[in-house]
Amino acid sequence: MVKKTPLSQYSRPQRNGIIAIKLKEDDELVDVAITKPGDEVVLSTARGMAIRFRQSDARPMGRNTSGVKGINLTSGDELVGMVVAEPETTLLTVCRNGYGKRTPFGPNSPVVEGEEQALPGEGEAGLPADEAPVEEVESAEEPLAEEEGGEEGGSGRRYRTQRRGGKGLRDIKTTERNGPVVSVVTVSDDDEVLLMTARGKIQRVAASEISVIGRNTQGVRIMSLDEDDTLAATVRVPHEERGDEAEEEPADAGPADAGPAGPEAAGDAMPSPDNNT
């Protein structure tokens, strides 16, 4: 389920918090993002499916509502993440066993004038959840670009826009080698990515070092894991927040100037998420 609510609905916070969404039994909140007219969002599942639709397909509702269907999950599957599609960047999909890949989003669909609907009144009761017409999922056996690369522009090299509520497209193969998807994040070539494991290890890699390949592929190894460890999360480090690490450590510092061994320079600190709440 997905729900869109104007930020003005959160302008009167209370000490003990306010309701943001009405959750059904055995359901939980996975992700939140700030969107604007013309944006498109991508929902990704543990079994490697993804659906891209215009944010305007989810009409505005009040806070205390359940929302509408975003993706039609198969039995045993679950949602693991949501990102706002940025046409000039890529979607990094990472699996539990340390494998993943980047795939270009491709352009957004044309904006239809007047498609944004105003939220009536306070909208606390909201509108009942509905289900959009289900669009047929592309066959998992469709011919796609090779993992080594290929010409961009083929259907397997991007995420085409669909109507919300469908089953989506195959994003990555969740084979025994890969394991299920654990994280998705938007990255550009200038960004870096922090990879964190279930046992507390962390690795920082340049996004440009991760192969850009099509959908419906297994991807490549991104992080080597110990036998009893798994990948747990990824975080984007934007280029503008990386800082000049050369300035963190004076070039002429000698042994007398060196302090006791300690954590890495503050330039490697995790950034605050951008545009997410």
Q: Could you tell me the residue ranges of all domains in the chain? A: 1-85
Residue 124 has pLDDT above 90, yes or no: no
pTM summary value: 0.73
Is residue 216 very low, low, confident or very high in pLDDT (cuts 50, 70, 90)? very high
More confident residue, 71 or 253: 71
Is residue 244 very low, low, confident or very high in pLDDT (cuts 50, 70, 90)? low
Residue 75 has pLDDT above 70, yes or no: yes
Is residue 242 very low, low, confident or very high in pLDDT (cuts 50, 70, 90)? low
More confident residue, 235 or 142: 235
What is the average per-residue pLDDT within 28-52? 96
Quote the pLDDT of residue 111. 59
What integer best gives the mean pLDDT of the chain? Answer: 79
Residue 151 has pLDDT above 80, yes or no: no
Residue 104 has pLDDT above 60, yes or no: yes
Quote the pLDDT of residue 46. 98
Residue 70 has pLDDT above 50, yes or no: yes
Residue 215 has pLDDT above 60, yes or no: yes
Written in H, E and C, the secondary structure of the chain is: CECECCHHHHCCCCCCCCCCCCCCCCCCCCCCCCCCCCCEEEEEECCCEEEEEEHHHCCECCCCCCCECCCCCCCCCCEEEEEECCCCCEEEEEECCCEEEEEECCCCCCCCCCCCCCCCCCCCCCCCCCCCCCCCCCCCCCCCCCCCCCCCCCHHHCCCCCCCCCCCEECECCCCCCCCEEEEEEECCCCEEEEEECCCCEEEEEHHHCCECCCCECCEECCCCCCCCCEEEEEEECHHHCCCHHHHCCCCCCCCCCCCCCCCCHHHCCCCCCCCC
Quote the pLDDT of residue 112. 57
What is the average per-residue pLDDT within 98-123? 68
Quote the percentage of the chain above a pLDDT of 70: 71
Is residue 240 very low, low, confident or very high in pLDDT (cuts 50, 70, 90)? confident
Quote the pLDDT of residue 114. 53
Point out the least confidently predicted range of 18-32, 127-141, 153-167, 171-185. 127-141
